[in-house]
Amino acid sequence: MLCQNGTVKPFLVSLVEPVAYLKSELTLSLFALSLAARRLIGPFVLFLVFLLFCVLTYMRLEHLHFADAVFWVAHPHAIEYRDVRTTTKYFSLFVAIGIFAFEIWFAERILLTFVGHQGREVSKSMINEMNLERIRDHFIICGYGQVGRTVIEQLNRAEIPYVLIETNEGLYRQLLHEGALVLHGDAKRHSVLQEAGIDRARGLCVVIDNDADNLYITVTAKSLNPRLKIITRAGQERYAEAMRTSGADAVVIPEFEGGKLAGQLIRKYSESGA
């Protein structure tokens, strides 16, 4: 009975959506941390080898126990300069310079994480998220197929603010690299539409090449923001009527519009040739 009334599915979706959002946030953080860790593995291993060399050298020069030699490396001020050999004094300078050089190397590796090629991708993701939180009176575009690309080109020319929702991760990264305000996710999810700022948006344009998905997104978006102006793509007239009934303000059928335009051009050329 619950399944027939459609109460179980929305409940399960409401449980899954927050988990998906937290998962995406955690993935971004882990990516940044793993990138920094990979860049530091080499310097860290060499630093350990350098420390071991310094400890063994102190043990040989001053006949120290291992713990005392480690303490000298960690705290060079503990070395009593009046009681050690001249060679030990020079070696302590070498240790200090070496540790300072490793500190610079570590800093350079960490800096590259944030300004390098991969680091720039993390930085752009963070900037993209901040812009998503600030955008107002924009249009949400669902889908970046052939029709979606044309819509985006028109919006860019008119300088109309928009947020693009794209499920394909490769396209998402490409658009992110190009500086587009883009969100990776499924537009059928409430959480994705809310992250795109549907409560602050002026309109929604659904141009996915799937009538059932377009209808579902139309219904979902209208329930989240009844004031939203919705433009939806349809492939068949029967879906177009359902979309209008579900709250779409305008329905575009590309094949129908293309055929209509072709017919008008044929009529135009026929009249001009007559």
Residue 3 has pLDDT above 60, yes or no: no
- Sheet with 250-252: list strands edge to edge: 182-184, 162-166, 139-142, 203-206, 229-233, 250-252
Query: Residue 192 in contact with residue 183, Cβ under 8 Å?
Result: yes
What pLDDT score was predicted for residue 16?
A: 47
Higher pLDDT, 216 or 20: 216
What pLDDT score was predicted for residue 270?
A: 78
- What value does the mean pLDDT take over residues 68-85? 83
Whole-number Å distance between alpha carbons of 140 and 197:
8
Mean pLDDT lowest among 6-10, 44-48, 91-95: 6-10
What pLDDT score was predicted for residue 21?
A: 46
Question: What's the pLDDT tens digit per position in 59-72?
Answer: 998 888 999 888 88
Higher pLDDT, 2 or 198: 198
What pLDDT score was predicted for residue 23?
A: 55
Residue 22 has pLDDT above 70, yes or no: no
Whole-number Å distance between alpha carbons of 165 and 178:
15
Query: Residue 204 in contact with residue 229, Cβ under 8 Å?
Result: yes
Residue 2 has pLDDT above 90, yes or no: no
Domains of the chain (ranges; CATH) run: 8-115 (no CATH), 120-257 (3.40.50.720)
